[in-house]
Each structure stands twice: as C-alpha cells, then as structure tokens.
C-alpha cells in the first residue's frame, strides 16, 4: 500500500485516549481507529477495514471481538434462507 503522509492537529484531550488504544505507536493506533470507524459506519467492508488497519482479516476480526463489536450481520433474509435450507435438508419436515 502506498503511503502518503499528512499532519493532523488534535486537541490535547485526545492524547490520553490515544495512549489507551492498542498498537505499538501512534500511527498504528490511528490507522486501526480509522479503519474501525469506517467499518462500523459501513463505509468499508470487513476485508477493506482489515487491510486499512494493517491487520490480517483474522486479526481484525479478533480485534473486533475483543471490543464486542459484531463483525457480521445476520439479517431477517439470512434467517429465512437458513430456514428454507433446513426444511429442504429435512425433506419438508416442520422444523419449528
């Protein structure tokens, strides 16, 4: 990934909060925080957030789990698909 740098000015109130974040240095802490925010706000996919954070997909999922942040969605449509598949597998038996 090509690196381009720029400077950001932050109020001093951010410094203790940044110190508490995971990572060996400020650059890593900020990258992970930005990737997390973009993922949580659904601006990037899970895979892209992992890439932006500099972590592997598994490491990023573990990071999300450690923060109790869901890394996947299970929608009503997913539930209906699963119920249909189970019904088909059981030969039409009632699965309720």
pLDDT digits (tens, 9 = 90+) for 84-96: 999 889 985 655 5
Give residue 34's domain range: 14-70
Q: Is residue 24 domain-resident?
A: yes
Q: Write down the pLDDT at residue 36.
A: 95
Task: Answer whether residue 1 is part of any domain.
Answer: no
Q: Is residue 6 part of a domain?
A: no
Give the pTM: 0.71
The domain total for the chain is 1
Helix and strand element counts for the chain (H, E): 5, 0
For residue 93, being part of any structural domain is answered with no
Give the dihedral of Cα atoms 55, 61, 66, 71; nearest 10 deg: 140
């Amino acid at each position: 990934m090509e690196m381009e740098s720029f400077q950001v000015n932050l109020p001093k109130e951010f410094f203790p909060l940044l110190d508490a974040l995971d990572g060996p240095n400020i650059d890593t802490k900020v990258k992970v925080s930005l990737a997390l925010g973009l993922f949580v706000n659904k601006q990037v996919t899970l895979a892209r957030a992992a890439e932006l954070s500099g972590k592997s997909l598994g490491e990023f999922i573990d990071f999300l789990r450690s923060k109790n942040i869901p890394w996947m969605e299970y929608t009503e449509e997913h539930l209906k698909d699963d119920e249909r598949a189970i019904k088909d597998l059981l030969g039409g038996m009632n699965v309720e």
